[in-house]
Amino acid sequence: MENFSAAGLLYLVATAFFILGIKRLSKVKTARSGNQLSAIGMLIAIVVTFAFPEGGAQLDIKTMLIGIALGGGIGAIMAKRVEMTGMPELVALLNGFGGLASTMVAFTDFYGLAGDGSNTMLGAEVWSVAIILSIFIGTITFTGSLMAMGKLSGKLSGNPVLLPMRHLLSAILILGGLGIAGYGLFTGNFDVTQSVYILIGCSALFGIVFVLPIGGADMPVVVSLLNSYSGIAASMAGFVIGNSLLIVAGALVGASGLILTMVMCKAMNRSLANVLIGGFGGATGEVDNSEYASVKSAGPEEAAMILESATSVIFIPGYGMAVAQAQHVVKELGLELEKRGCQVRYAIHPVAGRMPGHMNVLLAESDVDYEQLYELERINGDFKTTDVTVIVGANDVVNPEAIENPKSPIAGMPILNAHESGTVLMIKRSLSPGYAGIKNPLFERDNTYMCFGDGKAFIEDTVTELKDA
Classify residue 218 by burial, with Cβ atoms within 10 Å: 0-12, 13-18, 19+. buried
Instruction: Choose the catalytic residue: 396, 446, 454, 461.
Output: 396
> CA 213 to CA 405: how far, in whole Å?
25
The answer to whether 73 touches 261, Cβ cutoff 8 Å, is no
The answer to whether 285 touches 409, Cβ cutoff 8 Å, is yes
Nearest to 427 by CA among 329, 345, 320, 332: 320
Helix intervals (H) in 26-124: 31-51, 61-81, 87-114
Rounded to the nearest angstrom, the gap between the alpha carbon of residue 223 and the centroid of all alpha carbons in its chain is 4
- Strand-strand pairing, 312-317 and 388-392: parallel
396 is catalytic: yes
Q: Rounded to whole angstroms, what are the CA distances from 103 to 107, 160, 277, 370?
A: 6, 28, 22, 39
The DSSP line for 143-191 is: HHHHHHHHHHHTSS-SS----TTHHHHHHHHHHHHHHHHHHHHHH-SS-
Q: Rounded to whole angstroms, what are the CA distances from 63 to 43, 49, 69, 112?
A: 18, 14, 10, 18
The answer to whether 373 touches 28, Cβ cutoff 8 Å, is yes
> CA 150 to CA 265: how far, in whole Å?
22
Q: Give the torsion through C-alpha atoms of 37, 43, 44, 45, to 10 deg.
A: 110
> CA 81 to CA 429: how far, in whole Å?
26
Nearest to 421 by CA among 380, 450, 455: 380
> CA 2 to CA 388: how far, in whole Å?
66
Q: Rounded to whole angstroms, what are the CA distances from 93 to 146, 148, 149, 163, 288?
A: 6, 8, 6, 24, 35
Enclosing H/E stretch for 269: none
| Catalytic residue list | 396
